[in-house]
């Protein structure tokens, strides 16, 4: 039956238009020949996307079985993308509940999509069936939102094969209140779907890593354009727009934040891009935070000096401390090391003299992912343990901002954990004037 559904999805649409699972689907068209030629010329290998889809779907099923779940309902579009490699208005559906999926521990994989968008899953062989979604947000359903949520829950109970009076354990990553209640009232035991998905996503497969390397190359090519075009007199937003334009032009998808600041706005950190005009000699720091080619995140930070002059002593000093933190802590990413060891063995400048970033390391894949490694000072309130494993990808964070005033420096690199130790994935120069 699933093969018939997939065949019909690929072959035709209700209105007679060729389905997007065919050659015109944006995920089938891929990054395009010009971009892929750049990657091949740079010595990069392109990912086998069907193999990547299968690896990810298998990871989810294996995690479900390991945690004794019959399946999982995912509404987070990042989790849907991971399990199915299908997308539709990724940012919009984050807050409109118009797209979700079921992945059974032993099958099937079903996607519910925005009306008349069933064809958008036709390219993915791991999707067994597509149905129209039943959104239950107030935007979609108004005062009938509870009615639609019950309709949603009734269909889900049928799909998961729940029998009245029987107990069943499933995971769910997020849901509307009524949906939780109806499922629980029916005897379904609900577990944390985010836990399932974060654990499944933590180990990157070989084709995910190929995709990430391509995304890194695209991001760093854009960063080179930003560096070349940065001039005194530009506003922060004008510089930030260069990153957006380059990301989209190079098959990227979106950028999760707008963290870019200059001069006095670099300390404290976390300022979003503004109308401030950048002056000659200002430091300009930013965090890419972008979802790039193949849906892979590239999360790196650099700080540059704007203009042709030489960095001041204060600028060079604070940059040197941030670079030292980055280099020393990167070496800690070795297999078998505990998360607690990462936190307590990491090096930072004096926290009495300098402001810091909220975390020391964090996982990265499609976006910021498990784990988040906190500072020793925050361990009792927020820390949790685990083990660094080959195939995990981390970013190493460093922010140094003098508490007495002056500019701050943000640096960050993306690192693959291998059997032989850490492998730096991001190679853009760290220097203030490079």
Instruction: Report the predicted TM-score, pTM, of the whole model to 2 decimal places.
Output: 0.93
Domain count, the chain: 2
263 lies in the same domain as 388 = yes
Biggest CA-to-CA distance, the chain: 75
319 lies in the same domain as 257 = yes
Q: How far apart are CA 17 and CA 20, in angstroms?
A: 9
Taking alpha carbons only, the member of 134, 135, 127, 91 closest to residue 111 is 127
Last residue of a domain, one of 156, 171, 201: 201
Is 211 a member of any domain?
A: yes
283 lies in the same domain as 155 = no
Q: Return the CATH number at 107.
A: 3.40.350.10
pLDDT band at 1 (very low <50, low <70, confident <90, very high): very low
pLDDT at 230 over 60: yes
Q: Which tops the pLDDT comparison, 264 or 119?
A: 264
Range with the poorest average pLDDT among 176-190, 210-224, 290-304: 176-190
Mean of the pLDDT values across residues 34-38? 96
Q: How far apart are CA 83 and CA 98, in angstroms?
A: 17
171 lies in the same domain as 262 = no
- DSSP class per residue in 344-370: HH---S-TTTEE--SEEEEEESSSEEE
Q: In this predicted structure, what is the pLDDT of residue 330?
A: 98
Is 58 a member of any domain?
A: yes
114 lies in the same domain as 149 = yes
Which domain, by its residues, includes 268?
206-424
pLDDT band at 273 (very low <50, low <70, confident <90, very high): very high
Q: In this predicted structure, what is the pLDDT of residue 18?
A: 42
Q: Which tops the pLDDT comparison, 344 or 168?
A: 344
Q: Return the CATH number at 392.
A: 3.90.230.10
224 lies in the same domain as 150 = no
Last residue of a domain, one of 153, 184, 201: 201
Tokens of 32: 């395009």
50 lies in the same domain as 185 = yes
Is 433 a member of any domain?
A: no
Last residue of a domain, one of 151, 169, 201: 201
pLDDT at 200 over 60: yes
Is 434 a member of any domain?
A: no
Q: In this predicted structure, what is the pLDDT of residue 205?
A: 98
171 lies in the same domain as 224 = no
Tens-place pLDDT, residues 304-344: 999 999 999 999 999 999 999 999 999 999 999 999 999 99
Tens-place pLDDT, residues 336-384: 999 999 999 999 999 999 999 999 999 999 999 999 999 999 999 999 9
215 lies in the same domain as 98 = no
Is 131 a member of any domain?
A: yes
171 lies in the same domain as 239 = no
134 lies in the same domain as 212 = no
Alpha helices by DSSP H, listed for 101-192, are 138-141, 145-159, 177-185
Is 382 a member of any domain?
A: yes
Alpha helices by DSSP H, listed for 250-371, are 313-330, 339-345
Mean of the pLDDT values across residues 255-270? 98
Q: In this predicted structure, what is the pLDDT of residue 9?
A: 46
229 lies in the same domain as 192 = no
pLDDT at 425 over 60: yes
Is 41 a member of any domain?
A: yes
Q: In this predicted structure, what is the pLDDT of residue 168?
A: 87
pLDDT at 8 over 50: no
Mean of the pLDDT values across residues 87-96? 92
Is 374 a member of any domain?
A: yes
């Amino acid at each position: 039956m699933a093969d018939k559904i997939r065949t019909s999805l690929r072959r035709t649409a209700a209105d007679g238009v060729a389905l997007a699972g065919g050659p015109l689907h944006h995920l089938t068209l891929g990054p395009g020949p010009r971009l892929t030629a750049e990657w091949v010329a740079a010595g990069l290998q392109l990912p086998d996307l069907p193999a990547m889809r299968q690896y990810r779907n298998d990871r989810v099923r294996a995690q479900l079985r390991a945690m004794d779940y019959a399946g999982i309902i995912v509404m987070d579009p990042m989790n849907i993308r991971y399990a199915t490699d299908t997308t539709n208005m990724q940012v919009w559906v984050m807050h409109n509940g118009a797209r979700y999926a079921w992945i059974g521990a032993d099958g099937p994989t079903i996607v519910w999509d925005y009306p008349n968008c069933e064809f958008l899953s036709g390219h993915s062989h791991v999707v067994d069936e597509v149905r129209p979604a039943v959104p239950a947000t107030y935007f979609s359903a108004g005062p009938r939102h509870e009615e639609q949520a019950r309709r949603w829950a009734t269909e889900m109970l049928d799909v998961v094969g729940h029998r009245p009076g029987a107990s069943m354990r499933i995971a769910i990553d997020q849901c509307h209140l009524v949906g939780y209640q109806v499922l629980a009232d029916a005897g379904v035991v609900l577990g944390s779907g985010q836990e399932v998905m974060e654990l499944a996503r933590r180990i990157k497969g070989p084709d995910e890593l190929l995709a990430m390397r391509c995304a890194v190359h695209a991001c760093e090519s854009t960063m080179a354009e930003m560096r070349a075009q940065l001039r005194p007199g530009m506003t922060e937003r004008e510089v930030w727009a260069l990153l957006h334009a380059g990301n989209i032009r190079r098959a990227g998808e979106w950028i999760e934040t707008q963290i870019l600041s200059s001069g006095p706005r670099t300390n404290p950190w976390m300022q979003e891009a503004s109308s401030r005009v950048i002056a000659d000699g200002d430091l300009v720091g930013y965090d890419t935070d972008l979802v790039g080619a193949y849906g892979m995140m590239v999360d790196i930070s650099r700080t540059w000096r704007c203009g042709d002059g030489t960095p001041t002593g204060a600028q060079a000093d604070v940059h040197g401390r941030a670079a030292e933190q980055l280099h020393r802590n990167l070496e800690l990413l070795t297999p078998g090391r505990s998360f607690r060891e990462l936190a307590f063995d990491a090096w930072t400048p004096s926290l009495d003299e300098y402001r810091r970033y909220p975390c020391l390391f964090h996982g990265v894949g499609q976006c910021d992912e498990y784990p988040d490694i906190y500072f020793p000072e925050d361990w009792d309130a927020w820390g949790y343990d685990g083990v660094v494993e080959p195939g995990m990808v981390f970013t190493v964070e460093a922010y140094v901002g003098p508490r007495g005033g002056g500019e701050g420096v943000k640096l960050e690199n993306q690192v693959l954990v291998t059997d032989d130790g850490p492998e730096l994935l991001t190679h853009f120069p760290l220097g203030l004037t490079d």
